[in-house]
Structure 1
Amino acid sequence: MENILTVKELGKSFKETRILQNISFEVRKGEIMAILGPNGAGKSTTIRNIMGIMYPDEGSIVFHNHVENEIPRNKIGYLPEERGLYKNVKVMDMILYLAELKDYPIKKAKERALAYLAKFGLEGKDRVSVEELSKGMGQKVQFIASIIHEPELLILDEPFSGLDPVSQELFKKEIRELANNGTAILLSSHQMNVVEELCDRLFMIHRGQKVIYGTMENVKNQYANFKCTIKGRNDLALLEKLSNVQRVEQTEDISILYLTQDVIVPVWLRQLPENLHIQELSIDRISLHEIFIDVATDQHILDEGGAVHA
């Protein structure tokens, strides 16, 4: 699959503080790539370097075959975390102004804008001032403005902020449709359930360095061990003695058993003692949310081989 964006060995410091160190990843045509990390990890600095808002001290950013100052910004769409629409400007005028900045044909931009406004439930809002819109409506307008010029690379920073569940589903559907049509998408979000559902690959950064990078499937297979949830009152000491159990979390009549990476689930289930009190039992892998929390709070440490240990 063609690489649209290649970030290689990116480094950035502010005075004596190292913000980014050896950051490398690619965003491919037609994929949704998540860039994740806790606040202060370096995500926004990475995005600002890609957008040319600032420049790295080391490394390179390549868009197709263009580097840094040569990157055609009119081929990139950007939805920033801090929204920036002019409040006293009409919605359509705002969208067309931003399309013009990207050298996009105004007539075509207007046609696309009207179609997107209708798709997002904003039909008839084209002559309304931005300040008259709700937060969610404003978010939809800014999203439209970020894609109005048909960018090859779309960078979305917290795109679901301020959206109700219905609007979130609408955004997810549109983002996936854009990717299916060939747009390369780099998405930053703290909503791990949405990332897990939507993204093809992820790059997780912590303290300015890469900690996890790969396809969603590979990341879950490599880092997300199985966990067994048992409903029923059971003695904690008994559960902790079971084979392949790393740790147990227990609240009232719910016990969550975190299993080792080498567990063979069918065999393990057959070995459970008969005196366990089981009203309900389920086994699944730990979620991306749990992986994120473990990394962000330093509960896991990566060794040289890339494995994660509790």
Structure 2
Amino acid sequence: MIDISHLTKRFNDKIALDDLTMTLAPGEVMGLIGQNGAGKTTTFRMILNFIQPSSGTISWDQAPISTTRRTQIGFLPEERGLYQKQTIEQQVLYFAQLHGMSKYDAKRKLTELMKRLAVVGKVTDKVQTLSKGNAQKIQLISTIIFEPNFLILDEPFSGLDPVNTALMMQEIKRLQDQGSMILFSSHDMAGVEQLSDQITMLKAGRTVLQGRPTDIRAQFGRTELYLEAPIETASLAKIPGILSIVPRGAGRQIHLADAKVGETIFKLATAKGYIPVFAQEPPTLDAIFREKASTNNQGGL
């Protein structure tokens, strides 16, 4: 288990990270979210021992992370770092052997991963000939080829199309199923919600949200309603407690001040019988992220 306790990092008079506490168990995925400069990369760098914390502790199974333990960590940085003039095989085998894999095992695993991630090209192709998407897959392969026990991914899906994003998500889930602990950051809230067992949101270095995605959403109430019904928007707008009505597809997305307003809308919409769609849910993680990012509130919920 990874245990981060009261972790703080100061750069002179600037606090980059303020009192972060979180735990990550085997087979668990933690999504670390926040705007640029919120403290995510600083957190990664302290875990990896690139920089030292000002205070607080980081432990793995109740002990400081040793040099041996660090060889069991896979790290995918946001700034990609492939050697452009090397072949795929030279690149990946170099990283694999740094983490203790034999050349034979690494070659076999590379072929397997390239097939599973649908990499277009041969192991003898130079990195500089790869498309952005394929280069990103090779970067991931270099990170996970040795089957890390702890995986840190900084914006792993940045710039990828939906198909390649799905392939990379499948590989991350495979590692999770094998018991890897996974900590990742992303600005794609749908992807964060899909992958994460828990979420921690940072704002200006402080924790403003933490917990399971469903629990976080539930705290905000069922204030989002999608409606497809033969009722005039003007009639809906007269209902107290409706904050906004926005056309969406064949219906309307309605933002409520209070979840109880949904009962009034339902009675009005169904007064003449059947309606195609009435779906009342908590706000999406993306909507919550935008709200918390824009508010001046620095504390938790």
Under a length normalisation based on structure 2, what TM-score does the superposition of the two structures give?
A: 0.88
Partner Cα separation in structure 1 for residue 268 and residue 120 of structure 2: 61
Partner of residue 151, structure 2:
154
Partner of residue 254, structure 2:
256
Query: How far is 1:65 from its partner?
Result: 3.5
Distance 1:200 1:218, change over 3 A: same
Partner Cα separation in structure 1 for residue 276 and residue 177 of structure 2: 43
Deviations 1:159-211 (A, max 9, x none): 11222211111111111111011111111100001111121111111110111
Matches within 5 A, 1:215-254: 215-223=212-220, 225-230=222-227, 232-234=232-234, 238-239=238-239, 241=240, 245=241, 247-251=242-246, 254=252
Q: Secondary structure at the match of 2:234?
A: coil
Deviations 1:209-256 (A, max 9, x none): 1111111221121235431234542257512x2xxx3x5113468451
Query: How far is 1:106 from its partner?
Result: 2.1
Letter in 1 for 2:123: D
Letter in 1 for 2:93: L
Distance 1:75 1:274, change over 3 A: same
Contact 1:37-1:296 within 8 A present in 2 as well:
yes
Contact 2:206-2:298 within 8 A present in 1 as well:
no
Query: How far is 1:147 from its partner?
Result: 0.5
Computed over aligned residues only, the root mean square deviation of the Cα atoms, in angstroms, reads: 2.5
Partner of residue 189, structure 1:
186
Contact 1:35-1:204 within 8 A present in 2 as well:
yes
Deviations 1:55-106 (A, max 9, x none): 1110011122431555621110011110001000110111010111112222
Query: How far is 1:264 from its partner?
Result: 8.7
Partner Cα separation in structure 2 for residue 255 and residue 216 of structure 1: 22
Contact 1:224-1:287 within 8 A present in 2 as well:
no
Partner of residue 26, structure 1:
23
Question: Mean alpha-carbon deviation: is it higher for 8-17 or for 123-132?
Answer: 123-132
Deviations 1:275-309 (A, max 9, x none): 9xx8864322210000000011117x476xx54xx
Q: Secondary structure at the match of 2:192?
A: helix
Contact 2:221-2:282 within 8 A present in 1 as well:
yes
Q: Secondary structure at the match of 1:118?
A: helix
Structure 1: give runs of 5+ residues left out of the alignment. none
Contact 2:266-2:278 within 8 A present in 1 as well:
no
Letter in 1 for 2:127: V
Question: Mean alpha-carbon deviation: is it higher for 155-164 or for 115-124?
Answer: 115-124
Q: Secondary structure at the match of 1:72?
A: helix
Q: Secondary structure at the match of 1:98?
A: helix
Q: Secondary structure at the match of 2:122?
A: coil
Matches within 5 A, 1:78-89: 78-89=75-86
Under a length normalisation based on structure 1, what TM-score does the superposition of the two structures give?
A: 0.86
Contact 2:73-2:150 within 8 A present in 1 as well:
yes
Contact 1:34-1:186 within 8 A present in 2 as well:
yes
Selected match of 2:117 from 120, 125, 134? 120
* Residue 91 (structure 1) aligned with residue 88 (structure 2): yes
Structure 2: give runs of 5+ residues left out of the alignment. none
